[in-house]
Amino acid sequence: MKVVIKWGKKTFDDVEIDTSLPASIFKHQVYSLTGVPPERQKIMVKGGMLKDESTWSDTGVKSGQKLMLLGTADKLPEAPTSAPTFLEDLPEEQQSAADTKQFGSGLNNLGNTCYMNSTLQCLYSVPELRQALQVYSEPGQLASSSSHHRLAIAAQGLFGEMARSGAPVTPFTFLFTLRQAYPQFAQQGRGGQYSQQDAEECWSQLMTTLQDRLKDPSSAASDPAIKQLFGVGYHTELKCEETGETFQEDTTALSLKCNISIDVNQLEEGIKLALKDDREKNSDALGGLAVFAGSSVISHLPPYLTVHMVRFFYKADVQQKAKILRKVVFPVLLDLYDFCTPDLKRQLDGPRDALRAIEDKAAADARASKSKVPKEEGSKAANVETAQLMDTPQAKTVGDADVDMRDAGPPTSSSAGDEASTSTSAAHAGGHTGRYELMAVLTHKGRSADSGHYVSWVKQDSGQWVQFDDEQLVLRKEDEIATLAGGGDWHMAYLLMYRAQRVPNA
């Protein structure tokens, strides 16, 4: 049943009501459209106001009917007017929330919703995505009733609540609108309990919605913000060995796949395997389908890279997604230069040289600082320091090893070298290097995508890793992230998110 909601000067057409659900669910749906919290909603129906426990058969509401809504939307947070409350004065549960607020808010599990919670925590870690959602507004009456719009509004509200709260947040409205937009997430098992779902499917469907709704406010062409942030460009060449026919195509996807086989031990090996894109395609010469050998290279790199570890495949005999448990080591710093097109490599060369010069200078400064010893420590300390330096590769003499002739020649001024390095770095400031730093990992523990448990691990700006296990936040060390590579029944990486490493501003 569809109705019209009139709220002040705004009208929402074709708002769908599921008459099998209580009125309280409808109020959360109205909240996702208007921002008016359920407790402040006054919806006029036959006989008075709509109550949470009302059944639709008793309200007399009919399809196409106009419902009047009274109530004010949430306001922006205001400056505090009361005296500050100290942490030790708070109740114990509030002390815990205040202590972890700097790392974000946990999400309460609403019954096998860890797949959704872990997806949201990873995406929440992208500040540009939060900003794009924050400025998202109603696109008009026709689009405002679409499920994609309602889901974007629900994500906007949820991310805002996560930023303000610090305490665990209950994502009820978001879950409700997700299931409306994508009914597969509303599947129920025996006993009527909602089924566990595949986190990668949730991630992909949510990205599809956000790509449809969010535009880049800084782009004159109003390009989709999701494509700007996550879009990976591919150039693919296809050749039929039987006929010699060739095809070329350019595509964009929101992730990079890592296929897993018996020969794959490293992430880069799985990426290389996934870029072999053999497929069946219609052959004009044969007048039917033929096998084309395909190979792809990356033609565009985004600010944020999602890598899908293809760990699940459908097993017909048990009719479920089986899991590949093989250990695949993923790096904290991923370099994609060798997977790029020649044109893209040329674009990356300058920034890579500039970044390398900055790193070399920092290493040289560190060695120089280490070699300085206070005079009062005497020659003994100096000799020890010299011995340590002589063990480094940089301290080898001609008799110890071959010397790169590019380093030969008359000595140059260090200040002149520093100026040249600074000039090169400034020219490429902000440039993409083709290198990526790991910032989030979504893991799965269990043997099937539709069972087990999903968790997210997110690196904070301070460098601290935090494990988001539904409503619980656990501080982790970076060496613990290496244990997520797989090979057993522990949490193993399923989706990886990397941030582009750029040349820093001078």
Same fold yes or no, 2-70 and 232-341+431-502: no
Catalytic annotation, pick one of 114, 122, 240, 340: 114
Residue type, 235: H
Instruction: Say how far apart CA 295 and CA 56 lie, in whole Å.
Output: 57
Element (H, E) at 161: helix 147-165
Count the neighbouring beta carbons within 10 Å of the beta carbon of residue 38: 19
Q: What is the pLDDT of residues 335-361, one digit of tens each?
A: 999 999 999 999 999 999 999 999 888
Average pLDDT of span 202-229: 83
Please return the burial class of 333, using the count of CB atoms within 10 Å of its CB with bins 0-12, 13-18 and 19+: exposed
* Mean confidence (pLDDT) of the chain: 83
Angle at 177 between CA 175 and CA 183, to 5 degrees: 90
Catalytic annotation, pick one of 28, 149, 308, 453: 453
Residue 193 is predicted with a pLDDT of 87
Q: What CATH number was assigned to the domain covering residues 2-70?
A: 3.10.20.90
Residue 80 is predicted with a pLDDT of 41
Whose CA is closest to 446, among 257, 262, 197, 255?
197
Q: What is the pLDDT of residues 408-456, one digit of tens each?
A: 444 444 454 555 556 666 788 889 999 999 999 999 998 877 789 999 9
> In 3-state terms, what secondary structure has residue 431?
coil
**φ/ψ of residue 24, rounded to 5:** -60, -35
- Concerning whether 340 is annotated as a catalytic residue, the answer is no
**What residue ranges do the domains of the chain occupy?**
2-70, 106-208, 232-341+431-502
Domain 232-341+431-502: top CATH class: alpha beta
Q: Take residue 233 and report the two structure tokens written for it.
A: 């460009």
Q: Is the pLDDT of residue 238 over 50?
A: yes
Largest CA distance in the chain: 99
What size, in residues, is the chain? 506
Element (H, E) at 15: strand 10-16
Please return the burial class of 493, using the count of CB atoms within 10 Å of its CB with bins 0-12, 13-18 and 19+: buried
Q: Take residue 122 and report the two structure tokens written for it.
A: 């990873």
Residues 6+ apart with CB under 8 A from 306: 203, 230, 254, 255, 256, 495, 496, 497, 498
Residue 91 is predicted with a pLDDT of 57
- Concerning whether 122 is annotated as a catalytic residue, the answer is no
Residue 313 pLDDT class (50, 70, 90 cuts): confident
CB-CB contact of 115 with 196 (8 Å): yes
Average pLDDT of span 233-249: 91
